[in-house]
Amino acid sequence: MSKTTINLRIDDKIKTNAENVLEELGLSMTSAITLFLKAVSRTKSIPFPITTNNPKKTNTQNNRPKTVFENEDLDLDFDIDQLDSLKNAIDNL
């Protein structure tokens, strides 16, 4: 299988925190991103719910919750159980 390189610009703190969690899970950053992209390809969606910090706060245009792209305060912190579930789901593809 041919490989390609992806360059990412990410906040240092987010990268460090993710590396710490991934180390606990026994995954490299490359493996985790590959798992994520496989899940996106398979499901044709983001493989976890994306919501605002306050789901009742809505976009005034059409009274729907803001999407990840509309929300500047989005908190994307994940706990180990969520990441474990994602890894298990992807491993079972």
pLDDT score recorded for residue 31: 93
**Residue 11 dihedral angles phi and psi, to the nearest 5°:** -55, 135
- The rounded distance, in Å, linking the Cα atoms of 67 and 76 is 13
pLDDT score recorded for residue 48: 82
Local confidence pLDDT in tens for the 93 residues of the chain: 799 999 999 999 999 999 999 999 999 999 999 999 999 999 898 888 877 766 565 455 556 655 555 555 555 555 556 667 777 777 776
DSSP designation for 65: E
Residue 53 domain boundaries: 12-91
Q: Is residue 29 part of a domain?
A: yes
Beta bridge partners of 65: 58
52: Cβ contacts below 8 Å, ≥ 6 apart: 65, 66, 71, 73, 74
Q: Is residue 68 part of a domain?
A: yes
Q: Is residue 3 part of a domain?
A: no
Q: Is residue 32 part of a domain?
A: yes
Query: How many domains does the chain divide into?
Result: 1
pLDDT score recorded for residue 26: 93
Q: Is residue 46 part of a domain?
A: yes
Q: Full-prediction pTM beyond 0.75?
A: no
Q: Is residue 6 part of a domain?
A: no
